[in-house]
A and B are shown apart, each in its own frame.
Chain A
Amino acid sequence: MKTTLWKMTLLLGIGIAPTAVSEDLAAVIQASFSDRGQATLLRLEQDPLQQHCSQPRDQPVDDEIAMALRQQRLDAVVFPADGDFLGDWQRGATVAASGRGLQFNDDPSIANGGNCYACHQLAPSEVAYGTLGPSLTQYGLRGQSDAMLRYTWTKLWDTHAFNLCSHMPRFGAQKILDEQQLKDVMAFLLDPNSSVNQPTE
């Protein structure tokens, strides 16, 4: 059965069947992929946020829908049950450096990484950082007030609660990282002893 399905997809893909471009984008996308390991076709179905954020950047967005979506994301943020936001900054450094997890070739039994360095500068000692996101070096200078803790947690949990259609993944809301990992990343950002907050040379 699986082989037959696979063959059908292949045949459709390389042009035996009629291939007029479908008006249904989602259907075209579904027909162009197949399940691989943990990455199944279910991942291609968009939630309302993904749907809204799939417009080219120069397209105008509906402000009312945008405001409602942003509020919805904000209301859905789950804060730590024990009220403690800060874990171990050294474990957080490991989470920030790891880019593995949720790809079809990743072992699902091993913890996911946050891959923070792909897009952000963090510890000044790490020179291999990306630039898609802003530099977070010295992030801890902002202090540890309740407002800062809740703001930073929310950014990590679901960045769209503040910046709708940001490129950043929803690490909490999409269960990419678990609560303890998020606390550890929080400490990596905010602990004065963290390598993020050491003076730049």
Chain B
Amino acid sequence: MITRWCLLWLAFPAWADEGVFDQYRDLMGDDNPAIFVIDEGEEFWYQSQGPSGATLEACDLGLGAGVTRGAYAQFPRYFADTDRVMDIETRLIHCMETLQGRDRTVTAAKPYSLRGDFGTELEALVTWLAAESEGVVIAPEQGHLKERAMYALGEEIFFYRAGPHDFSCATCHEQSDKRIRLQQLPNLTDHHDAADAYGSWPAYRMSQGLVRTMGWRLQDCFRQQRWPGLTFGSEVSIALQTYMAVNAAGGIMTAPGLKR
């Protein structure tokens, strides 16, 4: 835990500007409220659910059925059984359907909690699985043609300007050492910034009292870009996660993070 915090401090020197959040972090010490969500996620993994009454223990996250240690760090990746590149969130929805017999229009209907909620099953599972990759090297698979195509698509979307404000991802995330108001912005085209940013999600958001996932972060970026609603598990979502993960490759997973 202490090592993790040292890494985070190196990663986000700009936290020194955040005043009240710094004080909060000092008060919390090594305690990230996400630990409760990690435990909850682990319970969900071993819980029998759905018409099949099965657990998720047979779910293949890319390293073989039931292997959770280090699996998060290799997403997004291609799965032969669906013939598609998936992020961890959509892979979990897939396992809930195939193993537990649960209807994906239900399990994927509300993947992320609203403010004031206690957090969703998916958020808890992703948080636990990220913790299962803590300290692991970020190494998304890029061997398959579809994985490389997904990266190329992500790069194109990253620079795609649209909407009333002409914003793209690049508007805020292609320059180093910039900030919005007091919020430091990672340069996601730069390896070090991308590794620090990508490796720290999912994260407990102090301002919201919830753990948020990478998928949630993306759809909230698009809200601020004045774009319409990003569909959960859509190609744009997977492509941008692939773009970030590959730019971050070689960095270390530090999630779950603790953020403003």
Report which A residues bind B (CB closer than 8 A): 7, 9-15, 18-22, 25, 28-29, 31-36, 39-41, 43-46, 49-50, 53-57, 102-105, 117-119, 127-132, 167, 169-170, 174-176
Chain B minimum-CB-distance residue to A51: B161
Instruction: Supply 9 A–B pairs (Cβ within 8 Å), ascending by A.
Output: A9-B234, A12-B234, A14-B233, A28-B239, A57-B170, A104-B229, A105-B223, A132-B179, A176-B165
**Which residue of A9, A14, A36, A56 is within 8 Å of B155 (Cβ)?**
A56
Query: Contact at B166–A174, with CB atoms within 8 Å?
Result: yes
**Which residue of A54, A102, A119, A130 is within 8 Å of B159 (Cβ)?**
A54
**Which residue of B150, B163, B234 is within 8 Å of A21 (Cβ)?**
B150
Name the A residues within 8 Å of B3 (CB-CB).
Answer: none
Whole-angstrom distance from the CB of A199 to the nearest CB of chain B? 23
Q: Is the interface of B mostly helix, strand, loop or mixed?
A: mixed
**Which residue of A12, A44, A131 is within 8 Å of B163 (Cβ)?**
A44
Q: How far is the CA of A30 from the CA of B229 in the complex (A)?
A: 11
Query: Contact at A19–B235, with CB atoms within 8 Å?
Result: yes
Whole-angstrom distance from the CB of A155 to the nearest CB of chain B? 15
Q: Give the interface residue-count category, chain B.
A: 35 or more
B86 at the interface (CB under 8 A from A): yes
Query: Contact at A128–B182, with CB atoms within 8 Å?
Result: yes
Which chain B residues numbered 126 to 181 have a C-beta less than 8 Å away from chain A? 146, 149-150, 152-153, 155-157, 159-168, 170-172, 174-175, 177-181
Query: Contact at B159–A118, with CB atoms within 8 Å?
Result: no
Interface pairs A-B: 9 shortest CB-CB? A32-B234, A32-B236, A36-B229, A14-B233, A13-B234, A169-B165, A33-B228, A21-B149, A50-B161
Whole-angstrom distance from the CB of B78 to the nearest CB of chain A? 11
Query: Contact at A102–B162, with CB atoms within 8 Å?
Result: no
Name the A residues within 8 Å of B108 (CB-CB).
Answer: 10, 14
Chain B minimum-CB-distance residue to A14: B233
B217 at the interface (CB under 8 A from A): no
**Which residue of A13, A56, A118, A131 is within 8 Å of B235 (Cβ)?**
A13
Query: Contact at A130–B229, with CB atoms within 8 Å?
Result: no
B82 at the interface (CB under 8 A from A): yes
Whole-angstrom distance from the CB of B27 to the nearest CB of chain A? 22
Chain A minimum-CB-distance residue to B158: A56
Chain A minimum-CB-distance residue to B229: A36
Task: With A39-B228, A128-B182, A174-B165 as known contacts, state yes or no: A32 contacts B235, CB within 8 Å.
Answer: yes
